[in-house]
Structure 1
Amino acid sequence: MRALQLLGPSTGGIRMHVAALADGLERLGVVAPVLGPAGVLDGRGTQAGVVPVPAGTSPLGLLRARRALAPWREDADVLHAHGLKAAWVAVRGRPRRPMVITVHNVVLDETAGRADGLQRRLERAVLARADRVIAPSDAIAEGLVGTVARDRIRVVVPVSPPALPRRSRADIRGRLGISDDTPLVSCVARLHPQKDLPTLLRAFVDVAARVPDARLAAVGDGPDRSALEAESSRLGLDDVVEWVGFDADAVDWIAASDVFALSSVWEAIPLVLPEAMALGVPVVSTDVGMASELLGDGRAGAVVDVGDDRAMADALVRFLADRSGALAAGDAGREVASTRFDPDALTAEVLDVYRELVPAKGTR
């Protein structure tokens, strides 16, 4: 079987997922070339070809991308578009091939204000043409019902590559000038309003007052960096918060920390959560994506309401102040990650979706 993987302009979790999925499919005997804008995998895997999927819906940009995709379609059995930007390119073109769309983030009711009516109509039109739509969570799947027939929706958690730190805990902490026993919270996020770093900063004012030697490492970059650094200074956190910037090996910072924090306003399924759990790091997250499903019992971390800096501070202090409790939470997180996010099992689930559409085709 030959299953094209088409990826649009992307950052972070989606391209990590596509790289891991393609690698897993190849191990199962499926030819799975990854296509997308130049350098879209950012070194996380091998890109087979360039298809300049545009960030928007420019007719000229879509035409160029469809022309670049056309020769790859010829001998494909399945075309798998990851995200709606890729799907806008994939839905039209010849020859027609069975099409799977993975919806990583979709405009659901709670986020309807984040997209105009035109975008919503485009999404509905594109999804209606898919033979199968893969949703990353039950919540996303339910949000798709009405746009996509229920019998064409499959729920498959995104494949996440194994979290393998390259640098040691001592190396990372040495960069911060802190000792092994200094309480450290990590956050890996694009510095964008969606990630709501101001809530985490407000929480950390309280954390620093209750755990005076606590530090926060914010890993990532984005359009809000200057404003966030200014807000951090205004809150008196200059000596507490380290703005690390982008780091391709962000997992190293998670592994070197005592607690991982996610303060997003909304997410589909933040792959960084199972990544942190697999590393044995307790997680404090806002109630987004699958956070409640993964952490709701309190064994591997804590879930707080979106925007609730007081609750986030309490949860962070709970783990920073109780090392034995944090270790137990880390062990529980490893167990959940190993059972719910096994890459081989999740890749096999995606292959099962392909086989529904190409039942007579085996692997190579």
Structure 2
Amino acid sequence: MSPSAHEWKESRVPPQPDRPGTGFTALHLVQPVEGGVAQVVLDLVAAQVAAGVRVVVGCPEEGPLAPAAARRGAEVHRWRATRAPGPTLVREVRQAARLVRLVRPDLLHAHSAKAGLAGRLAVRGRVPTVFQPHAWSFEAVGGLTGWLAGQWERRAVRWTDRVICVSDAERRTGERAGIDARWSVVRNGIEAARFAPEAAARGAAHAGERLADTARARAGLPALAALPPATPVVVCVGRLCKQKGQDILLRAWPQVVRRLPTARLVLVGDGPDAAALRGTAPPSVLFAGAVADTVPWYRAADLVVLPSRWEGMAVAPLEAMASGRAVVLSDVDGARESLPPGREEVCLTPPEDPAALAAALSALLHDAPLREAIGRQSRHHVLSTYDVRQTARAVADVYREAAGGPRTERREPIPQ
């Protein structure tokens, strides 16, 4: 679909002073409750609470999102929901409808496929609704399930006042799938100061001091602190699952080790594929498991990699670049947009191509000056383009447009 009247661009609607604030209630319906999606929601919660918005989060109790959202000032309600569609969907829709009746939000913001499915079925246009896919569900599955997911997304736009995509590429993927939505592109943002490189955190590096080695010694990571000083370390931060592509990385890694025998790979995160990955990993691969704070791991890395099969725009590479680290990414939605200009040839590889991934990792590990130059450029790029405050302001403008504009006849009764 070519750009149409449905498409909304910030340049066409100048920001107004009446962004949602005191007296406005936003309900975030969320599943999954970990990883990048959870971090995006938490950043929005903090910004909206600071603006005086009554923020309500409906999500499963399991995982870090519920307690973290409460600490940031959100009103948190349990919404029992699995990640995948299935026989529990009817119950999930009814629970979402009850939550909407209880909270009486001015706007529903549904995050990812399951919340987008249950939330829009529960509300059906009765409440201004924003859907944020965080990567399209029909990319994750094939066959009949993928076809049904695409059919649903094409139909569900009738109950969607705005679809927020985190990259232009994610929006184009939706358009190619025939989703005739009212679009807003609001790129993910991060709290860049939190990911300041170790040198910035302590003032300046001493002459001849290797930043990554110092970070390993200072970060309280015994597995890395025990490594010889010149050991090359590659870090992958992400849920251990098919989407993030750690299995592709493990197929590529032996080729890297053949060129750099002392290199080590660290997988940071947990997930459904953890046991399978551990069963196929060579001794040069370390598993850190789920961690409360990823900052020390980015600082400890010489290079960060995320070989995803699909994304909207991944948060982990933005965090790594804010930490001053070069990244190697698969060329999926959002990857090109997240990189600093001119680095695509060095930092991007075709999806599901272990040989190309190994070549890119090896080349950057062998070229410290290039790697460090990319790291500096990457940090500057993230600071100027992906600040979480810009993201929060853009989402507030979307809320204003979605909740303040004329509504259509799409409203239907909320199911009991």
**Alignment-derived partner of residue 216 in structure 2:** 169
Q: Give % identity.
A: 32
CA displacement, residues 299-346 of structure 1 (integer Å, 9 cap, x when unaligned): 796101112222222211222222222111100110111122111111
TM-score normalised over the length of structure 1: 0.87
1:332 paired with 2:377, answer yes
**Alignment-derived partner of residue 408 in structure 2:** none
CA displacement, residues 203-235 of structure 1 (integer Å, 9 cap, x when unaligned): 221211211211111112222222222222xxx
1:162, 1:44 → 2: CA distance? 19
TM-score normalised over the length of structure 2: 0.77
**Alignment-derived partner of residue 47 in structure 2:** 24
1:227, 1:93 → 2: CA distance? 40
**Alignment-derived partner of residue 246 in structure 1:** 290
**Alignment-derived partner of residue 72 in structure 1:** 103
CA displacement, residues 64-95 of structure 1 (integer Å, 9 cap, x when unaligned): 3321332102xx22221112322333323499
Show the 5 A alignment for 1:246-325.
246-295=290-339, 297-298=342-343, 302-325=347-370
1:173, 1:87 → 2: CA distance? 39
Structure 2: give runs of 5+ residues left out of the alignment: 1-23, 199-214, 406-416
* Structure 2 SS opposite 1:195: coil
* Structure 1 SS opposite 2:243: helix
1:51/1:68 contact within 8 Å kept: no
2:236, 2:193 → 1: CA distance? 16
Show the 5 A alignment for 1:1-364.
1-39=24-62, 41=65, 43-46=67-70, 47-55=74-82, 56=85, 58-73=89-104, 76-91=105-120, 92-93=122-123, 96-107=126-137, 112-113=142-143, 115-145=145-175, 147-150=178-181, 152-162=182-192, 164=194, 168-170=215-217, 171-176=219-224, 177-232=226-281, 237-238=282-283, 240-295=284-339, 297-298=342-343, 302-359=347-404
Summarize the Cα distance change of 1:301–1:307 in structure 2 as closer, same or farther, 3 Å threshold.
same
Q: How many corresponding residue pairs?
A: 352
2:92, 2:25 → 1: CA distance? 26
1:2/1:78 contact within 8 Å kept: yes
Letter in 2 for 1:285: L
- Point out the more displaced range, 156-165 or 335-344: 156-165
Higher relative contact order (CA 8 A, sep 6+): 2
2:269/2:291 contact within 8 Å kept: yes
- Point out the more displaced range, 294-303 or 32-41: 294-303
2:195, 2:34 → 1: CA distance? 19
1:183, 1:93 → 2: CA distance? 52
CA displacement, residues 103-126 of structure 1 (integer Å, 9 cap, x when unaligned): 212145796548343333333333
* Structure 2 SS opposite 1:307: coil
Summarize the Cα distance change of 1:163–1:42 in structure 2 as closer, same or farther, 3 Å threshold.
farther
Deviation at 1:48, TM superposition (A): 1.3
2:313/2:333 contact within 8 Å kept: yes
2:294, 2:326 → 1: CA distance? 16
Deviation at 1:154, TM superposition (A): 0.7
* Structure 2 SS opposite 1:10: coil
* Structure 1 SS opposite 2:347: strand
Deviation at 1:163, TM superposition (A): 6.6
1:112, 1:354 → 2: CA distance? 33
CA displacement, residues 166-214 of structure 1 (integer Å, 9 cap, x when unaligned): 9953235532321443210001122222222232123221211211211
Please give the root-mean-square deviation of Cα atoms over the aligned residues, in Å.
2.7
- Point out the more displaced range, 182-191 or 34-43: 34-43
Summarize the Cα distance change of 1:4–1:288 in structure 2 as closer, same or farther, 3 Å threshold.
same
